[in-house]
Copies of this chain bind each other. A is one copy, B any other.
Amino acid sequence: MFKKAIVSIRYNSLKKSNFYYRSLSYTSERYPQVQRDTKFKRLNEDDISHFNSILSKDQILHATPDNPLIIYNEDWMKKYKGQSSLVLKPKTTTQVSQILAYCNKVQLAMVPQGGNTGLVGGSVPVFDEIILSLSNMNNIRSFDELTGVLKCDAGVILQNAMDYVSDKGHVIPLDLGAKGSCQMGGVVATNAGGLRFIKYGSLHGSVLGLEVVLPNGQILNSMKSLRKDNTGYDWKQLFIGSEGTLGIVTGVSILTAPKPKANNVAFLAVDSFSNVLEVFKRAKGELNEILSAFEFMDSTAEKLTEKYLPDLPFPLESDQEGNEPSFYVLIETSGSNKEHDDNKLESFLEKVMESELIVDGTIAQDETELTNLWNWREMIPESTQMNGGVYKYDVSLPLPDLYSLVEATNERLKKFNLMSETESSKPVIAAVGFGHIGDGNLHLNIAVREYNKEVEKVLEPFIYEFVSSKNGSISAEHGLGFQKKNYIKYSKNDNEIQIMKDIKREFDPNGILNPYKCV
Contact = CB atoms under 8 A, between A and B. Distances in A.
Interface string A26-42: 00000000000000000
A34 to B, nearest CB: 18
Interface in A273-289: 277, 280-281, 284-289
Interface residues of A, number: 93
A235 to B, nearest CB: 5
A146 B477 contact: no
Interface in A106-149: 144-148
Nearest to A336: B288
B340 A337 contact: yes
B225 A477 contact: no
Contact of A197 (B202, B227, B234, B335): B227
B233 A241 contact: yes
Interface string A234-261: 1101101110001000000000001011
Contacts of A258: 284-285, 288
Given A146-B399, A201-B201, A344-B340, A233 B519 contact: yes
Interface string A466-479: 00000111111111
Given A288-B260, A290-B289, A440-B147, A476 B230 contact: yes
Q: How many copies, total? A: 2
A228 interface: yes
Contacts of A500: 232-233, 235
A226 B496 contact: no
A336 B224 contact: no
Contacts of A232: 241, 480, 488, 491-492, 496-497, 500, 518-519
Contacts of A518: 232
A459 interface: no
Interface string A98-112: 000000000000000
Nearest to A205: B205
Contacts of A480: 230-232
Interface string A333-367: 01111001001100000000000000000000000
Given A205-B201, A230-B191, A500-B233, A399 B147 contact: yes
A473 B226 contact: yes
B492 A231 contact: yes
Given A261-B288, A289-B336, 4 more contacts: A146-B280, A225-B440, A228-B436, A230-B477
11 contacts: A221-B493, A225-B398, A227-B396, A230-B477, A232-B500, A233-B241, A233-B499, A233-B519, A234-B238, A260-B288, A337-B344
